[in-house]
Structure 1
């Protein structure tokens, strides 16, 4: 029977559906009149000629319905405006029928006319609602519906629930909201549950997807919620606000933080990277700089792999507080121990204590000062943290017998023109030196380009400038950079450790990602402006919205970055990840360089520190030298 009804409904043409709606209006009018007549007779009213009114009501209903276009209103679009139109329909029909009664000499009391109008309105709306639900029920036959939870019971969530009810294949099950005042209430026919019941609802109600209907929440909080839900095993989708869809909210809100990958100029490879889970399952893993962009993403991805323990080593109290709170919420029920450690990698005692107290087996060293202009202005602090901090942490790992140590480096370390890049190259040399002498710990490095969306990267800056109405500042018309997403960067670091574990590395190798062609920053700025629904204002388009202004290269900034110092690359188990074996300093040379650097640190002599990197970092050209060449 159900399949027969489905086939019957499926074969209805648009004309058939309009005819059924018109027939509904025609039948409802005499029915409302019949009920009204019963009321009038019971009240002792009536002249005996009321039999003329039903056919008149049917004819009038047919005419008014066609004039107002009531049959053209689709059932799944029948909402407040259509209901108001039905009210107008009832009013016109009531007045018309009263006029017919007056002309025919039929005595109809005012109460009877009002009652007829109300009954017709109620029956007409009820008939359409009944037809809509019957139609949805029939259409759901033989279709596997998607059962969803709506996270957020505000205006967007309520409108989303109403919209989903008109689709036969998507069924909202309940609301989830963190507001205690809403929990336990029934909104739009759905009960509101607290967020700690999501896993139970997913299990008991067979939910496959969660829709985040909280457009006013910060991207960071949405990301945390999404990470926690993905651990449960459900798909997560975000829903924009209706104000965003019509362009009434600020432009900055329309630039989604989850779509950085569209600006790469190449296909993202994160989904194609092989899993490295076996390397870290059940292990104690330390991440330095755990509160930073790459460090925090490393922690999130590690948590999904289920290590025994994640030790988060971070110098910033605020950053450590945020990642600790996020990871603890995500780690509930996983059995993974989360350990926050507040301290600096330059503290030798703290580094040794952390390695031994938590039985660390793998170290990801992501802690670094990385903002080029700031490190250029503060070379002592930059070199102390990036070089001596790396040596301190690596020595502690070596003494503790840690199995693997992976340094997170940057393309700015290749023939650097700034102190930050030179400090990272010296850090690489430190790791290469230890790799040659270590028998227990495998040391390796990961080098990649700019990370989209990280603190200090160009996209958040452009985003703020576009939101403010411009101008967008560009340091040079021809400047280019390699780009990757934070997720890609974290995956690359995890894979470097797994390759070393698999015997793919003898230590001291530099792993690089095949990042395709470098992206021109001007092209990136234009894409972001256009993605925001704006146009570039220039000589060719003086009426454009956002202007791009060239400010000149900053101290130490290069036009083009490189990923390799020497020639020749070796393959790895993944075609998009390559391995380079580059020249390094001898043990004596490394010791001499570090001794000179420590001496400069002790006296606070910035010029002496610069002379150290000029002497020992191959290809280093100070900013003034680069400027003179131009």
Structure 2
């Protein structure tokens, strides 16, 4: 076995420290003039200590540590190794030597060994830190860390130990007892209220928020202060997103819009209410989409007997299948490539699989695209929903949950109108079927494919401009996991025929959203990254609603879910109108929109 030359050199240095410590201890004990018999004892004691300290230092792995990253743990290892080595050597010396080693020599040599062994190693650490700093980019960005607790300290230590191109100027901490204290030699410069002043005085280029256990409201308040400084802002993930005890620079993420919403994420305890999917065959249509895939993830936690992943796009279905097989190896999965517009194919799928619970998330959702392609919106959102709902009824599904949209309320778009017709159809089905048909209606979800947030971020990366349709445009926002948790909760509340409405919190002005994203990326809106107004697109509203005029809201035992009760529907008339849609589906857009207007009277027809 080849010996590491560095380890051998360090071991020799430690032994020299031991000999020097023992020799100097005897010299001080006898003031440089000690009797001849103690000279022999000194040599014997040094030989014994060489073995005793050598074994102890090796046992406590002092030769297997990176001393340039030494911390309290390494300091304790040195202390234990030296003390035990000294005690071991002294005990052996008492047993084999004719004369007792003077107690003052034992104590003094132990102190000297500790000082030399520990000092040499920490000198290595100091030199290593200086070497890292000298190797770093000479143009350093001044960084301010918000949070002088454990997380902030760990981040500061890692920045200092790495060639990150960052220089930590100070900490911010709201605990006044920490004000003007130094953490790792770095001053606590003030509280959150001092951030704007400190950014100007210290020429701060980046702020890192290191408060993983703070509430969403606290984070939002700090983000609001920081975003007006115009510097780049990043933060550690929330505490439940971290691997315990593992914090590193690559875990610091960009501040997201979720941090700006000013509310803690909705967390729904689904345990105890998900018996309607446990040991059941569950089908999710549109399983490769943003909502559909998250439905599959969360349903998999509750052990369905089989989970059917139905979708039209093979790549997205393959991706979610691979993810679920990796994360939930015990869940029985079946992937089905099928188009919900194909009625015979859907009947074949239902006849073969007999799903007991159906979550219908497959839909066309992009407003301007569907405005230009109304026939496709009708075929997918109306006829596709009709096919899946009819099969659920025919083959005895227990529940059918339609994923709907706030754009179905007083719709001004083809997409919204088709979703409203889908709601009306499944409500009419509920009156005649043993299946419980319900719809869940919510607004925009953050991070979904085609949503405004990724679009803005891409525009910022490209240098702008960021395009906003109208300065007064507002939207409701919710994260995908939040929305899906409430969908599953609503499914448990279903008695049949309801339209569940999710509380989306306060609406957000899209212009403010764009400005905040620009600032959080380290740029100044209208100056470094411009914002342009492109005009309201076809079918869009300035604001969305969650209830129609005739719907009376009813509370449920969940404080974020409400029930809208629409007026009675004439099923026979609805079926006639849908048949009219089928007859005109191949006609021009204006003919299709005219029929849609007769089914959903509140739809404002715009004939170009």
Task: Return the match for 1:480 from 453, 469, 474.
Answer: 474
Other-structure match for 2:484: 490
Other-structure match for 1:288: 285
Q: Does the 8 A contact of 1:32 with 1:123 survive in 2? A: no
Q: What is the CA distance between 1:526 and its match in structure 2?
A: 1.9
Name the CA shift for 1:127/1:563 in 2 (closer, same or farther; >3 Å).
Answer: closer
Output the CA distance in 2 between the equivalents of 1:237 and 1:289. 38
Name the CA shift for 1:123/1:567 in 2 (closer, same or farther; >3 Å).
Answer: closer
Report 1:33-44 matches (<5 A). Answer: none
Output the CA distance in 2 between the equivalents of 1:238 and 1:394. 48
Output the CA distance in 2 between the equivalents of 1:400 and 1:618. 33
- 3-state SS of paired residue (1:392): helix
TM-score (norm 2): 0.61
Name the CA shift for 1:598/1:567 in 2 (closer, same or farther; >3 Å).
Answer: closer
| Contiguous gaps of at least 5 residues in structure 1 | 1-23, 36-75, 83-119, 132-145, 147-154, 161-225, 246-253, 538-543, 626-630
Task: Return the match for 2:520 from 522, 525, 531.
Answer: 531
Name the CA shift for 1:534/1:579 in 2 (closer, same or farther; >3 Å).
Answer: same
Q: Does the 8 A contact of 2:17 with 2:117 survive in 1? A: no
* Deviation digits for residues 417-467 of structure 1 (CA, Å, limit 9, x no counterpart): 1111111111111111101111x1000000000011001111111111112
Report 1:445-456 matches (<5 A). Answer: 445-456=439-450
Q: What is the CA distance between 1:613 and its match in structure 2?
A: 0.7
Matched length:
405
Name the CA shift for 1:512/1:128 in 2 (closer, same or farther; >3 Å).
Answer: same
Name the CA shift for 1:447/1:558 in 2 (closer, same or farther; >3 Å).
Answer: same
Correspondence 1:351 to 2:346: yes
Output the CA distance in 2 between the equivalents of 1:260 and 1:238. 25
- 3-state SS of paired residue (1:598): helix
- 3-state SS of paired residue (1:311): strand
Output the CA distance in 1 between the equivalents of 2:540 and 2:245. 39
Q: What is the CA distance between 1:562 and its match in structure 2?
A: 0.2
Output the CA distance in 2 between the equivalents of 1:577 and 1:80. 51
* Deviation digits for residues 370-411 of structure 1 (CA, Å, limit 9, x no counterpart): 011111111111110000000001000100010000000000
Task: Return the match for 2:594 from 611, 626, 629.
Answer: 611
Q: Does the 8 A contact of 2:69 with 2:125 survive in 1? A: no
Q: Does the 8 A contact of 1:260 with 1:453 survive in 2? A: no
Correspondence 1:583 to 2:567: yes
Other-structure match for 2:546: 563
Other-structure match for 1:444: 438
Name the CA shift for 1:272/1:497 in 2 (closer, same or farther; >3 Å).
Answer: closer
- 3-state SS of paired residue (1:569): strand
Output the CA distance in 2 between the equivalents of 1:622 and 1:121. 87
Name the CA shift for 1:615/1:330 in 2 (closer, same or farther; >3 Å).
Answer: same
Task: Return the match for 1:297 from 290, 294, 299.
Answer: 294
- 3-state SS of paired residue (1:313): strand
- 3-state SS of paired residue (2:318): helix
Please tell me the root mean square deviation across aligned C-alpha atoms, in Å. Answer: 3.7
Q: Does the 8 A contact of 1:380 with 1:606 survive in 2? A: yes
Other-structure match for 1:18: none
Q: Does the 8 A contact of 1:274 with 1:574 survive in 2? A: no
Q: What is the CA distance between 1:488 and its match in structure 2?
A: 1.2
Other-structure match for 1:430: 425
Other-structure match for 1:315: 312
Q: What is the CA distance between 1:531 and its match in structure 2?
A: 2.3
Q: What is the CA distance between 1:81 and its match in structure 2?
A: 12
| Contiguous gaps of at least 5 residues in structure 2 | 1-12, 25-64, 72-114, 127-149, 151-157, 164-236
Output the CA distance in 2 between the equivalents of 1:237 and 1:294. 32
Name the CA shift for 1:369/1:238 in 2 (closer, same or farther; >3 Å).
Answer: farther
Report 1:451-462 matches (<5 A). Answer: 451-462=445-456
* Deviation digits for residues 502-543 of structure 1 (CA, Å, limit 9, x no counterpart): xxx2x2211011222211111111222222233222xxxxxx
TM-score (norm 1): 0.59
Q: Does the 8 A contact of 2:257 with 2:517 survive in 1? A: no
Output the CA distance in 1 between the equivalents of 2:483 and 2:501. 10
Other-structure match for 2:87: none
Q: Does the 8 A contact of 1:264 with 1:484 survive in 2? A: no
Output the CA distance in 2 between the equivalents of 1:300 and 1:462. 27
Output the CA distance in 2 between the equivalents of 1:380 and 1:127. 74
Name the CA shift for 1:34/1:470 in 2 (closer, same or farther; >3 Å).
Answer: farther
Correspondence 1:341 to 2:325: no
Task: Return the match for 1:400 from 365, 381, 395.
Answer: 395
Correspondence 1:268 to 2:265: yes
Correspondence 1:550 to 2:533: yes
Q: Does the 8 A contact of 2:68 with 2:124 survive in 1? A: no
